[in-house]
Chain A
Amino acid sequence: DQQVKQNSPSLSVQEGRISILNCDYTNSMFDYFLWYKKYPAEGPTFLISISSIKDKNEDGRFTVFLNKSAKHLSLHIVPSQPGDSAVYFCAASGVTGGGNKLTFGTGTQLKVEL
């Protein structure tokens, strides 16, 4: 069963506009969430994280929102830049819900167009 879901396999956004990437999870024991960016032939690069005690975390152009009641999180990138074009993975973990291993979504391919 897919405990972390990214239902949009791809997203295309114009440079300068907002990119919104979505992620849903089913395991209520998850309490820590991360977003990673991955370029081809490279390992995932950490972007931003959020603990379940918060509903928002911001770092520069990146903001992650967490809606625990809906079991939904989103990553906002503002403004989007061509270098943001990559695959974005949502990941979750829970000390009491599977330990420290990360459960990943299948990724969303973001393309930022000029």
Chain B
Amino acid sequence: GAGVSQSPSNKVTEKGKDVELRCDPISGHTALYWYRQSLGQGLEFLIYFQGNSAPDKSGLPSDRFSAERTGGSVSTLTIQRTQQEDSAVYLCASSRSGVQETQYFGPGTRLLVL
């Protein structure tokens, strides 16, 4: 079956602009996660959605970052007023449920803020 897909694959934007990143999880997966990997760093957790529960936003680095998940499927990560330090690879993952389930990752969106 299809894996996790993300779009766009690459995004170049100017400082101060808003960007939207999209994630399509694996069909039937109820849990969806966003992570980012900055240059030379490990993956950093951003936000987690599980079914209809309130999302775990504990990893979002600032209030410029927000995410939503519509209809329990597709998710959009929005970064407002982008800064150069937001440049990173943004990775989405999904799992069948939340508890000790393997997370499967998409290919990522490479964001460069000039």
Contact = CB atoms under 8 A, between A and B. Distances in A.
Contacts of B107: 41-43
B41 A44 contact: no
Contact of A44 (B43, B48, B99): B43
Contacts of B99: 95, 100
Secondary structure class of chain A's binding surface, majority of residues: strand
B73 interface: no
Interface residues of A, number: 26
A36 B104 CA distance: 10
A104 B43 contact: yes
B65 interface: no
A100 B98 contact: yes
A101 B102 contact: no
Interface in A75-100: 89, 91, 93, 95, 99-100
Interface of B: 4, 31, 33, 35, 40-45, 48, 50, 56, 58-59, 91, 93, 95, 98-108
7 contacts: A46-B104, A99-B48, A100-B101, A101-B33, A101-B45, A102-B45, A104-B42
Q: List the 9 closest A-B pairs by CB distance, nearest first.
A: A43-B105, A100-B98, A104-B43, A106-B42, A104-B42, A101-B45, A32-B100, A43-B107, A44-B105
Interface of A: 4, 31-32, 34, 36, 41-46, 49, 51, 89, 91, 93, 95, 99-107
